[in-house]
Amino acid sequence: MNSFYKTSETLKQGSMTLKGEYYTDPEILKLEYKKIFHQRWICIGHISEFKIKGNYKVVNLDKESFILYRDDLENIQSFYNVCRHRGTRICNNKSGNFSKSIQCGYHGWTYNLQGDLTGAPNMEDVEEFKKSNFSLHKVPVAKWEGFLFINISESPSNFNLEFSTIKSRFSEWDIPNLVQIDFKSYNVNCNWKLIVQNYSECYHCPIIHPKLADITPYTGGRNDLTDGPYLGGYMEMKEKTISESGHLCGPPIGNLSQKNQNRVYYYAIFPNMLLSLHPDYVMVHTVWPEDMNKCRIDCSWYFAQEVKNSIKYHAENAIDFWDKTNKEDWNICEKSQLGIQSKKYRPGPYSGQESLLAAYDEYYLSVLNET
């Protein structure tokens, strides 16, 4: 989707695309769940989705399901979506509101908003039964720049330490105080990594996204994070922002320096977050594997509070532009998936404009302990 231009000298000698099995072998997906999605901090959304007490969101990952919500003490809570009685999934809707408690629809076991079991019908005569032994299973939650992350590892890494290199990197945009204006979910018939890799280069932009290439010439980008779990950089814009008209769709956000008012930044934050920073809005994709050749991409747009219900600002000019661009990307990624499945697919050489893809592959393989 985006352009990160690097000269060929920055590309490691002999860098090649991944072998086909990394996009087609179900055993690789099992390994990715085990070593990546069940171990790493996963972005699940933004704090603005939980403004109202009790508002919940359900996140599904592999065979697991989690409930996230703001409790009555203003804390963001997350628990496994599993009743402690017979293991029934408690919430089946994607979102909703808990007024004062959480109740399983099977036998009525009830929990308060801190996850403690408060009601268990007909269990009072069970010998040595104690409600305190059957709280919901808690999931660690961390916040960074207003975004929420969960980690389902039995021994989660220290979030602050893991994110220390980018902890305050984007403070100029004041992202925690933005609000979600729109959300779209896409189901795409390709491996999840193709989405991340496509996002991290604009070698394809003149052909697939000519209008985007006009606003941000694809050879004008520069990378500033070039290895490890955080990859990306910026591009200079010929317009005020990236939108249908090229005009701002809301007031400038945060406290941007002059240079950042004329740039768009794109970062892939391993494993599932794609962060796009514009002068007037922030766009975020979260990528979710659903099968070896299927994934879901959730895309959200965040603007200043004044944009909500405004007749002065037109957020749809940016949202419609990116919705069209997203679909162009999903289409070409699906074609890539089809080609990679061929018995004639072989790894091909990366160009000098695809150095971030080579860096992504290297880090990805290191996490799988295969380098």
Domain boundaries, the chain: 8-40+176-367, 42-162
Euclidean distance between CA atoms 217 and 206, whole angstroms: 9
Nearest to 188 by CA among 33, 4, 1, 321: 1
The backbone torsions φ and ψ at residue 106, rounded to the nearest 5 degrees and listed phi first, read: -90, -60
* Pair 100, 69: CB distance under 8 Å: no
The mean pLDDT of 172-195, rounded to a whole number, is 98
Res. 190 pLDDT band, cuts 50 70 90: very high
CA distances 342 to 165, 188, 302, 320, 348, Å, are 40, 19, 40, 34, 14
Can you read off the two tokens belonging to residue 52? 């109202």
Euclidean distance between CA atoms 222 and 78, whole angstroms: 38
Residue 91 DSSP one-character state: -
* Pair 96, 56: CB distance under 8 Å: yes
Q: What pLDDT is stored for residue 11 in this prediction?
A: 65
Planar angle of CA 133, 139, 144, nearest 5 degrees:
150
Q: What pLDDT is stored for residue 4 in this prediction?
A: 38
DSSP string across 31-45: HHIIIIITTS-EEEE
Per-chain mean pLDDT for the chain:
94
Q: What pLDDT is stored for residue 2 in this prediction?
A: 43
Q: What pLDDT is stored for residue 7 in this prediction?
A: 37
Does the pLDDT of residue 1 top 80, yes or no? no
Q: What pLDDT is stored for residue 370 in this prediction?
A: 67
Does the pLDDT of residue 357 top 80, yes or no? yes
DSSP string across 264-307: EEEEEETTTEEEEE-SS-EEEEEEEEEETTEEEEEEEEEE-GGG
Residue 233 makes CB contacts below 8 A (sequence gap 6+) with 4, 221, 222, 223, 224, 225, 265, 266, 267, 356
The mean pLDDT of 83-105, rounded to a whole number, is 96
Higher pLDDT, 5 or 173: 173
| Share of the chain residues as helix, strand and coil, in percent rounded to the nearest 5 | 30, 25, 45
Does the pLDDT of residue 158 top 80, yes or no? yes
**pLDDT tens digit sequence for 313-352:** 999 999 999 999 999 999 999 999 999 999 999 999 999 8
Which CATH fold topology does 42-162 show? Rieske Iron-sulfur Protein (2.102.10)
Does the pLDDT of residue 77 top 80, yes or no? yes
CATH 3.40.50.11540 fits 8-40+176-367, yes or no: no
**pLDDT tens digit sequence for 200-246:** 998 899 999 999 999 999 777 899 999 999 999 999 999 999 999 99
Q: What pLDDT is stored for residue 221 in this prediction?
A: 82
**pLDDT tens digit sequence for 116-137:** 999 999 999 999 999 999 999 9
Percentage, residues of the chain above pLDDT 90: 90
The mean pLDDT of 273-301, rounded to a whole number, is 98
Residue 351 makes CB contacts below 8 A (sequence gap 6+) with 8, 11, 203
Does the pLDDT of residue 183 top 70, yes or no? yes
Q: What pLDDT is stored for residue 353 in this prediction?
A: 85
Can you read off the two tokens belonging to residue 47? 């704090």
Does the pLDDT of residue 10 top 60, yes or no? no
Q: Determine how many CB atoms are found less than 10 A away from the CB of residue 283.
A: 21
Euclidean distance between CA atoms 59 and 80, whole angstroms: 10
The backbone torsions φ and ψ at residue 367, rounded to the nearest 5 degrees and listed phi first, read: -65, -35
Residue 37 makes CB contacts below 8 A (sequence gap 6+) with 61, 62, 271, 272, 289
Can you read off the two tokens belonging to residue 172? 């100029």
